[in-house]
Structure 1
Amino acid sequence: MFEYAPAPESRSIVDIAPSYGLFIDGSFVPASSSGGVFKTVNPASEEVLAEIASAGADDVDLAVAAARRAFGPWSALPGAERAKYLFRIARIIQERSRELAVLESLDNGKPIRESRDVDLPLVAAHFFYYAGWADKLAYAGFGPDPRPLGVAAQVIPWNFPMLMLAWKIAPALAAGNTVVLKPAETTPLSALFFADICRQADLPPGVVNIITGAGETGRALVEHPDVNKVAFTGSTEVGRQIARSIAGTRKRLTLELGGKAANIVFDDAPIDQAVEGIVNGIFFNQGHVCCAGSRLLVQESAYDEVLTALKRRMSTLRVGDPLDKNTDIGAINSAEQLSRIRELSEIGAAEGAERWSPQCDLPSQGFWFAPTIFTGVTQAHRIAREEIFGPVLSVLTFRTPDEAIEKANNTPYGLSAGVWTEKGSLILAMADKLRAGVVWANTFNKFDPTSPFGGYKESGYGREGGRHGLEAYLA
């Protein structure tokens, strides 16, 4: 096995201020007396990165009012003029992508290789893509004269802070809406840097407002009477609460929630390619992925070969400093998330599943969890039913395609699935029967701004990305 010398990315490209206010009406302002402050930490070292303003109810009122004032002039602009701002934002993101990638890895804990090579290129691509739609809305298939809804309240999670921001803000602005966005409490920094990008792009004040805070801030924003549209990505439990809180109002809602995706490997699959897909499916971003392939379904006749190859591949994964370019698996985002991963893993072992992790030295500071697989898992195990949201894989077996379908669909979730086989007819037959919003064939975790993403059942409703992603922001 290769020994890799450290290859750290420099932190010097990012200048993090000691404290940040709320971005309302084109300016950074301190929180009002109803708000407060909190700290954001680097999960790899537990070092405090900055002190962040926490928006109270008064601040939410100010942000929504700013978005409402900006809505008239912004929605009245010709689509081609709105597109210029989106193109400008996309180019600035590209210019500042190295800085933003380092920032994302510091605040989130994900490996720099992923934030640099996956997240940031996709962020820019989403703004470029929706910039192209801004003057073509009449041809999007939503009627000859689609109108923007008004003020969009958007609440995003901590696993892909910058990418989720792009998924939400780009289509909203292209359609002529204005935005109040709340990033996750543990990862506010990239959204605050994006606020600076909006100023750099001369975006009119109030078109994008960024308010930071915890769940109470998000609740105040979602329940605000002057909001026309709510978009939420996060846990199914919070999604349920949001759906209940806006029931009976005229607010439009899209929810992108949890998942427990099945990654299905048939015995004729290219095994080495499948193993790479399994590893990417569950260990990418430490498993902090709603569409992670957290249930591996292997055809019995290929089980031994797949498991041997998978364990061999897992033994080469490098866990450690997220800013090291050789790191495969970074830090768990928070102490709270780490304790949930540990708790469910201990339950898996207590319920009789066999736990295995490769030998790896975890750093003494920060929040870390070794990549883990469980074999001997049944459908009744909690680790096969509940979303762990960490680098933990449950392995099950099947004999026939019908059994694979039945097991894959036996979940309250329906966000994604993967199928590995060299038979094109089998891929199409499986994809037709899998109750999942996205089905990947001989690959996993591939995203593109032109392709819609979203789920069924408890994975939410509505689609983000592609032409379909505009529908949620148009009347």
Structure 2
Amino acid sequence: MTTANDLSQLTAKAAAFIGGEKGLFIDGEWRAPRSGETLPVIDPSSGREVGRIAQASADDVDAAVASARRALEDPAWARMKPHQREEIMLRLAELIRAEAPSLAEIETVNSGKLIANTRLFDVDLSVHTLRYMAGWATKLHGETMDLAVPYAPDMRFNGFTRRFPAGVVAAIMPWNVPLCQAVWKLAPVLATGCTVILKPSELTSLTALRLAELCDEAGITPGVVNVVTGTGEVTGKALIEHPGVDKINFTGSTRVGQFIAEQAAPAFKHYNLELGGKSPLIIAEDADLEKAIPGAAWAIYGNSGQNCCAGSRVLIHEKHFDRVVAGVADIAASIRLGPGLDPASMMGPLVGAAHRARVAEHVERARSAGGEVIGGEIVEGDGSYFTPAIVTGLDHGHPTAQQEIFGPVLCAFPFKDDEEALQLANDTAFGLGASIWTRGLATANRYFERLKAGTVWINTHNILDLSLPFGGTKQSGVGFELGREGVMSHTVLRAGVMLVDE
């Protein structure tokens, strides 16, 4: 097994960017961090350093927020016509499309993901996101209405509403889909006329920095888009606590989401939180197993299980339990681990050694509790590889079955009827996604109505579309990204009343 990416395969543009000097993008300029501190960029396939990024301090964050505030009130941006914002977004989409090969390579080296996935889900989906959201720039309208005003019967009033930009947005992204998450957060900002400070994960910052260069090339007004890199404990915390931020858009852990809510409440800041998940995948008695078995396998093993709505709990009708477990185990055993740049690889490494250690700890806790584990082993040698696992025989309340692992670990449970399946499915602190696999329309409707999740898939899993809102319930978050809801959450509504002279 070849474990390390062959960096000699990279295009010259990708290689130069990965190894080149990187600063902070503030007010349309590249700046060195005031502290001079930097952080390593690690290739997860080898564990080796391939570059460095800036560590932004609180002072750097302050400069980025000030830049975004100035741009929000700059007539060049504030008075820009909606169709002009649309044109800029479409121009940025085309620049990303043109840079697709190098962007995918940069993302693969930085994140460990398969090159096919970084091309499809980071680059191509980013292009589609910008194109979809660009259309909203010219469709942000209010309403007009005749008012009753019963206490002034002899006077006539018209009422109307308008939508305005929510203001300066702090957008904090995770490391699992780095470029696409950055664009998901950037696109509604541009469509609505807000301004933004993007803070990528310190593990996967490279494509956000390249995105900043493309924003500049697209002609976006300086200060509208700022990118600061650094750790969550320093850079992220300074951004969350900054009084000049009007809205926080965060994707990541529930723990950090709770901190954001605590910090935002006293200042009445707006926020969207897309947090953790422990999504159930339910295989009903009448399911088509030829589709459900591979569906269950790739719902958890896709992207090495590093998906917020991965199907990490599979609930199987007892009649099919042994067959489904054996089928998923066979697929897991057939998965070829390898570096993301190798087109023969079916699953890449986890994002880093520290994360792999946390995933492995969950598996060991399951073994110690009497669970039967197939797979789930650390691969010795270079890189942070971990074999896909399926766990049976655990109590459903065990931490491995309840906590988000964010790795290729599937917990399987049998159920005897729909009531038990629904009880198990909803028996979690999370509520991001869920899927039901069935041939029956009535069964599908019954589960759709009773599953406590932001998205319910039927005979599929992990399918997202830009026109559908994406978000969760319970500890999976607050608010939505994508769709109309994702756009409108970046606006504030203002009501007007006008006296009509008769």
Q: TM-score range by the shorter chain?
A: over 0.9
SS, match of residue 333 in structure 1: coil
| 1:387 correspondence with 2:387 | no
Relative distance call for 1:343 and 1:189 in structure 2 (3 A) is same
Partner of 2:449: 432
Partner of 1:27: 29
Matches within 5 A, 1:70-89: 70-72=71-73, 73=75, 74-89=77-92
Partner of 1:269: 287
Matches within 5 A, 1:102-251: 102-138=105-141, 144-215=161-232, 216-251=234-269
SS, match of residue 394 in structure 1: strand
Partner of 2:322: 304
Q: Which runs of 5+ in 2 are unaligned?
A: 145-159, 493-502
> Given that residues 272 and 309 in structure 1 are in contact (C-alpha distance below 8 angstroms), is that contact kept between their aligned partners in structure 2?
no
Q: Distance in 2 between matches of 1:361 and 1:63?
A: 41
> Given that residues 378 and 385 in structure 2 are in contact (C-alpha distance below 8 angstroms), is that contact kept between their aligned partners in structure 1?
no
Partner of 1:396: 413
Q: Distance in 2 between matches of 1:408 and 1:239?
A: 23
TM-score between the two structures when normalised by the length of structure 1: 0.95
How far residue 361 of structure 1 moved from its aligned partner, in angstroms, is 9.7
How far residue 438 of structure 1 moved from its aligned partner, in angstroms, is 0.5
> Given that residues 121 and 177 in structure 2 are in contact (C-alpha distance below 8 angstroms), is that contact kept between their aligned partners in structure 1?
no
- 1:458 pairs, out of 455, 468, 475, with 475
Moved more, 117-126 or 404-413: 117-126
> Given that residues 378 and 386 in structure 2 are in contact (C-alpha distance below 8 angstroms), is that contact kept between their aligned partners in structure 1?
no
Relative distance call for 1:170 and 1:140 in structure 2 (3 A) is farther
Q: Distance in 1 between matches of 2:344 and 2:449?
A: 39
Partner of 1:448: 465
How far residue 309 of structure 1 moved from its aligned partner, in angstroms, is 1.7
How far residue 119 of structure 1 moved from its aligned partner, in angstroms, is 2.7
How far residue 212 of structure 1 moved from its aligned partner, in angstroms, is 0.2
Q: Distance in 2 between matches of 1:451 and 1:366?
A: 37
How far residue 139 of structure 1 moved from its aligned partner, in angstroms, is 6.6
Partner of 2:498: none
Q: Distance in 2 between matches of 1:334 and 1:7?
A: 14
Q: Distance in 1 between matches of 2:385 and 2:38?
A: 27
Q: Distance in 1 between matches of 2:302 and 2:130?
A: 24
Matches within 5 A, 1:225-374: 225-357=243-375, 362=379, 364-374=381-391
Residues 304-356 of structure 1 show CA distances to partners (whole Å, capped at 9, x for unaligned) of 22122222222221111111112121111012211110111100110111000
For the pair shown, the structure with the greater C-alpha radius of gyration is: 2
> Given that residues 32 and 59 in structure 1 are in contact (C-alpha distance below 8 angstroms), is that contact kept between their aligned partners in structure 2?
yes
Residues 421-451 of structure 1 show CA distances to partners (whole Å, capped at 9, x for unaligned) of 1111111110110000001111111111111
TM-score between the two structures when normalised by the length of structure 2: 0.90
> Given that residues 156 and 183 in structure 1 are in contact (C-alpha distance below 8 angstroms), is that contact kept between their aligned partners in structure 2?
yes
Q: Distance in 2 between matches of 1:469 and 1:259?
A: 19
In the TM superposition, structure 1's runs of 4+ consecutive aligned residues that sit over 6 Å from their partners are 6-9
How far residue 140 of structure 1 moved from its aligned partner, in angstroms, is 10
Q: Distance in 2 between matches of 1:391 and 1:128?
A: 33
SS, match of residue 51 in structure 1: strand
1:303 is aligned with what amino acid?
Answer: F
Residues 27-74 of structure 1 show CA distances to partners (whole Å, capped at 9, x for unaligned) of 1110013x6211111011112121111111111111111111111232
2:384 is aligned with what amino acid?
Answer: F
> Given that residues 68 and 151 in structure 1 are in contact (C-alpha distance below 8 angstroms), is that contact kept between their aligned partners in structure 2?
yes
Q: Distance in 1 between matches of 2:315 and 2:54?
A: 45
Moved more, 110-119 or 86-95: 110-119
Q: Distance in 2 between matches of 1:420 and 1:279?
A: 13
How far residue 76 of structure 1 moved from its aligned partner, in angstroms, is 2.0
Q: Distance in 2 between matches of 1:140 and 1:37?
A: 50
> Given that residues 319 and 362 in structure 1 are in contact (C-alpha distance below 8 angstroms), is that contact kept between their aligned partners in structure 2?
no
Residues 136-178 of structure 1 show CA distances to partners (whole Å, capped at 9, x for unaligned) of 111799x842100111011111111111101111011101100
> Given that residues 129 and 187 in structure 2 are in contact (C-alpha distance below 8 angstroms), is that contact kept between their aligned partners in structure 1?
yes
Q: Distance in 2 between matches of 1:316 and 1:272?
A: 17
Q: Distance in 1 between matches of 2:319 and 2:443?
A: 17
Count the aligned residue pairs.
469
> Given that residues 18 and 49 in structure 1 are in contact (C-alpha distance below 8 angstroms), is that contact kept between their aligned partners in structure 2?
no
> Given that residues 140 and 467 in structure 1 are in contact (C-alpha distance below 8 angstroms), is that contact kept between their aligned partners in structure 2?
no
Residues 380-439 of structure 1 show CA distances to partners (whole Å, capped at 9, x for unaligned) of 221111111100000011111111111000000000001101111111110110000001
| 1:11 correspondence with 2:28 | no
Moved more, 72-81 or 55-64: 72-81
> Given that residues 136 and 191 in structure 2 are in contact (C-alpha distance below 8 angstroms), is that contact kept between their aligned partners in structure 1?
yes
Residues 203-232 of structure 1 show CA distances to partners (whole Å, capped at 9, x for unaligned) of 111110000000110010111111111111
1:103 is aligned with what amino acid?
Answer: I
How far residue 115 of structure 1 moved from its aligned partner, in angstroms, is 1.0
How far residue 11 of structure 1 moved from its aligned partner, in angstroms, is 1.3
Q: Distance in 2 between matches of 1:197 and 1:318?
A: 35
Relative distance call for 1:23 and 1:169 in structure 2 (3 A) is same
Q: Distance in 2 between matches of 1:149 and 1:446?
A: 29
Relative distance call for 1:172 and 1:7 in structure 2 (3 A) is closer
Q: Distance in 2 between matches of 1:458 and 1:361?
A: 30
Residues 10-32 of structure 1 show CA distances to partners (whole Å, capped at 9, x for unaligned) of 31251223321000111111001
1:384 is aligned with what amino acid?
Answer: A
